[in-house]
Amino acid sequence: MITACEKNKIRLERLKYNIEKQGARVNVIQQDARKLDEYFSFDKILLDAPCSGSGTKNIFSEKFTKELIERSANVQEELLKKALKILKPNGEIIYSTCSILRKENEEVLEKILKKENAEIININLDKLTKLELLETKIQGTLCIMPSETYEGFFIAKIKKRE
């Protein structure tokens, strides 16, 4: 069973459209994931966190500010903390952003993982040989360099211990 959570009504409608187009069966909820009821419990979570978009062309926008980065990192921390709370023991989270900034990636992970019973699981790079990677402070995480082929993004696999 798949549950998707999106607080923005316009994005929610696009998500529903894309899900229907693919023929998938997904329970879609319009809700801020930070406020999900504690009765929810998941084996796996894909947390595609809102971010500054520093790995995209958004970096050239006047909306790309220090305040945006700070606000994004705070929301990411709250979302990751909530995700770990509703994740079952031995469950896994894929945490991703379209940012290449440490403030929104490694610093968020470091802050949350210090307090939580979770660990980073190495991502297998065997099939990703053509991607250019940026250096990360946390072993096992990936930060993809923006290029003409790809936008930049960050990804980490997290396992909740028992």
Query: Phi and psi of 3, rounded to 5°?
Result: -120, 130
Kindly state whether residue 77 falls inside one of the protein's structural domains. Answer: yes
Query: Measuring CA to CA, which residue among 137, 130, 139, 15 is closest to residue 2?
Result: 15
Which residues are catalytically annotated? 98
Which DSSP string corresponds to 27-39?
EEEES-GGG--TT
Question: Residue 70: which domain range?
Answer: 46-160
| CATH label of the domain that carries residue 64 | 3.40.50.150
Residue type, 159: K
* Rounded Cα–Cα distance for residues 119 and 158 (Å): 6
pLDDT in tens, 112-150: 999 888 999 998 777 766 788 899 999 999 999 998 888
Close Cβ partners of 149 (under 8 Å, ≥ 6 residues apart)? none
Number of compact structural domains in the chain: 1
pLDDT in tens, 74-103: 999 999 999 999 999 999 999 999 999 999
Query: Measuring CA to CA, which residue among 92, 112, 109 is closest to residue 45?
Result: 92
Kindly state whether residue 27 falls inside one of the protein's structural domains. Answer: no
